[in-house]
Structure 1
């Protein structure tokens, strides 16, 4: 699985003029399932996301994880994280998991994260989403479970 984390002061997802997910301070997490990913892969990624110390402590150092900071998570599916740009100018997305598998793993990741973080909101899998965010820092972290 792949994930792109952005530390935010606020973020929201709108689908067809309806706010389907919204958080204040925390992490906006874009997630992409890859072929061969499993429930164990999801659990590994959720554990890593939850443990990352990306939030400032009283001394201003990034020493707190999401739960310690009191922050929330907004999880959004994004198959484009599997983009292959090695040839031509049009990215290929065949490296992403099939939609049915990806949806199940997206749901699993969200569930795994809810076991570690108090507030977890989501986008809507497969929908055309408008994502709004205010970056904090900015802090942006790329994770790939193949490299964990």
Structure 2
């Protein structure tokens, strides 16, 4: 699994002109699932995101997690995170999992992140043409790939 985590002041997801999700301060998490992903990848990534210390403490030092600050979270599926651009100019998405594999893993990821933070996680709509708006705070943007965890 690959995730792009952005600390935001606010974020929203709109599909076909309808606002599907909206948060205040917290995290926007773009997540891509590949064929090789497992339950272990989900567990590791949810723990990493829930405990990632990228929010300021009383001294302004990034020392608190999204759970510590009761921040909100939106998770958006994004298969293009697994784009390969090694050859030519058209990205290849061969490593991105097909929906029949990706959807259950994505839903499990959202459920486990919800348990880890003890709050409802908002989401976009898997496979939809989404308009994602955000105000990046910092900016703070972290990229995590479960295949590079060692």
TM-score w.r.t. length of structure 2:
0.96
The 2-side partners of 1:15 and 1:61 are apart by 36
- Structure 2 segments unaligned to the other structure (5+ residues): none
The 2-side partners of 1:136 and 1:7 are apart by 5
Aligned length: 148
The 2-side partners of 1:100 and 1:63 are apart by 38
The 2-side partners of 1:95 and 1:13 are apart by 25
Q: What's the counterpart of residue 129 of structure 2?
A: 128
Aligned-partner SS, 2:67: helix
RMSD of equivalent CA atoms: 0.8
Q: What's the counterpart of residue 48 of structure 2?
A: 48
Residues 54-84 of structure 1: CA deviation (Å, up to 9, x unaligned): 1000000000001101101100000000000
Deviation at 1:120, TM superposition (A): 1.1
Q: What's the counterpart of residue 78 of structure 1?
A: 78
TM-score w.r.t. length of structure 1:
0.97
Deviation at 1:119, TM superposition (A): 3.5
The 1-side partners of 2:90 and 2:60 are apart by 42
